Amino acid sequence: MAESSYIETGTKNTDTTKELTDEEIEEIALDLADAIAECDFQSVQLIMAANREHIKPICSLLLPCDLSWGKDGEISVLHLAAMMNQLNFLNTIIHCGVPVDLPDSHGLTPLMYAVIKDTLNSARVLLDYNADVNKQDYNGYSSFHHSVQLAHIKMTEMLLLYGATVNTVQGEGWSPLMLAVRHRYERSDHIIIMKILFHQGALLDIQEKQQNYTALILAAQEGHLDIVKLLVRKGANVNLQTKSLHTALMLACWRGLKPIAEFLMARGANVDMQDNGGMTALMLALRDKHNDIANTLLQNRASVYIENKQKKLARHYTKSKVMKQTLEQAELDQARRVHVPASPCMGIPRRTPLAFRRLEFLAC
């Protein structure tokens, strides 16, 4: 970066009433451009502070330039000002004519930079200049997507006040709610974000494009019991399937997540649904030696007679003698429930004993 006496000493150009020549303004603009390009935030601040009364003509010389910043592309001075929370600079360069939604090489706007860095005041300035709160970058992410997945609570609330849409999906079909689930960290911030989204009418059962995951399926697979409970209690469909036809229950059983599996069964999850290979939750649990979950499935009357596409039953997926005995007993119990002796009353179908007695009484 060019040497500048006003950076070193803080004395040059501190007389803000002094008129600068065009050459002096150009020199300062070049120094500022160098500082921006080198990410020298301290020098940027010093140059701006020393030349506060001349920022507009200085910035006007920067506008035609593509100022390189970082390794991944080019951004404008507006992006940098938003990220650095330089409000005076931000106001000045917007007045100079920089488009408030100017994208960088990846389609990110200055507002997105402010959101990602959680510079609330910069974001508010940009929004007050009518920055498009719902504009999406080249990957389909809006400022709201970025704020939600980073769990910036105050920023998320402010974006909603400025009209952020709560159910817009990004390029791969992920809604803000799904991003909050996917990016949940070991803290409560994403739970708070989800509650904000629920209050704003977030749709619970949106499915992303690649695998048809929902927020609930993702939460179940990742073992987030608190989120699973929250979503189900808000009305999420427990039986939706992915492209491979897995349900939230199947994935919980597959991964050995017993508390989640128990909760989903208690909330009406179908225990006998099959994936694209014909595997049931019981088969998946047995195959991966989650025998405690297999027992819970049997207690919830998971069928032991369903065949998968390989013509195998649940008992073919365990080597445990104890589990095999349990499955044999389950086969006998289920056979008794299904194969009931013929009714003395004509035309009565074979049903479970209780249903059989009711129908027999009505018919006789």
Residue 107 lies in a domain: yes
Q: Please report the pLDDT score of residue 86 as a whole number.
A: 84
Residue 79 · residue 104 · CB < 8 Å: yes
Which token pair is 144?
């709201």
Domain that holds residue 139: 74-167
100 Cβ contact partners less than 8 Å away, ≥ 6 residues apart: 78, 94, 109, 110, 111, 126, 129, 130, 131
Q: Are residues 60 and 96 in the same domain?
A: no
Q: Look at the chain and report how many structural domains it folds into.
A: 3
Residue 10 pLDDT greater than 50, yes or no: no
How many angstroms separate the Cα of 322 from the Cα of each of 255, 295, 314, 326? 21, 11, 14, 6
∠ CA 248-253-258 to the nearest 5 degrees?
100
Distance CA 83, CA 79 (A): 6
Q: Are residues 58 and 93 in the same domain?
A: no
**Each residue's pLDDT tens digit, 191-224:** 999 999 999 999 999 999 999 999 999 999 999 9
Q: Please report the pLDDT score of residue 186 as a whole number.
A: 52
Number of other CB atoms surrounding residue 276 within 10 Å: 12
In this prediction, residues 248-265 reach a mean pLDDT of 98
Region of residue 278 (phi > 0: left; psi between -120 and 50: alpha; otherwise: beta): left
Residue 158 · residue 126 · CB < 8 Å: no
User: Can you give the CATH number for the domain in which 88 is found?
Assistant: 1.25.40.20
Residue 282 lies in a domain: yes
Q: Are residues 158 and 240 in the same domain?
A: no
**Each residue's pLDDT tens digit, 142-186:** 999 999 999 999 999 999 999 999 999 999 999 999 999 998 765
Which token pair is 61?
């010389």
Q: Are residues 228 and 150 in the same domain?
A: no
Domain boundary among 318, 334, 353: 318
**Each residue's pLDDT tens digit, 345-362:** 434 444 444 444 444 444
Q: Are residues 295 and 242 in the same domain?
A: yes
Residue 363 pLDDT greater than 60, yes or no: no
How many angstroms separate the Cα of 252 from the Cα of each of 202, 214, 248, 296? 24, 14, 6, 13
How many angstroms separate the Cα of 337 from the Cα of each of 281, 306, 323? 21, 15, 21
Buried b (16+ CB within 10 A) or exposed e, 122-146: bbbbbbeeebbbebbbeeebbbbbb
**Each residue's pLDDT tens digit, 50-77:** 887 887 788 777 666 555 455 555 677 7
Query: What is the pTM assigned to this prediction?
Result: 0.78
**Each residue's pLDDT tens digit, 218-245:** 999 999 999 999 999 999 999 999 999 9
Q: Are residues 218 and 302 in the same domain?
A: yes
Mean pLDDT of the residues in the chain = 84
- What radius of gyration, in Å, describes the C-alpha atoms of the chain? 31
Q: Please report the pLDDT score of residue 76 as a whole number.
A: 78
DSSP 74: B
Distance CA 243, CA 246 (A): 7
Residue 43 pLDDT greater than 70, yes or no: yes
Domain boundary among 113, 134, 167: 167
Residue 120 lies in a domain: yes
Q: Please report the pLDDT score of residue 286 as a whole number.
A: 97
Q: Are residues 90 and 154 in the same domain?
A: yes
User: Is residue 170 helix, strand or coil?
Assistant: coil
Residue 150 lies in a domain: yes
User: Is residue 115 helix, strand or coil?
Assistant: helix
Q: Are residues 242 and 292 in the same domain?
A: yes
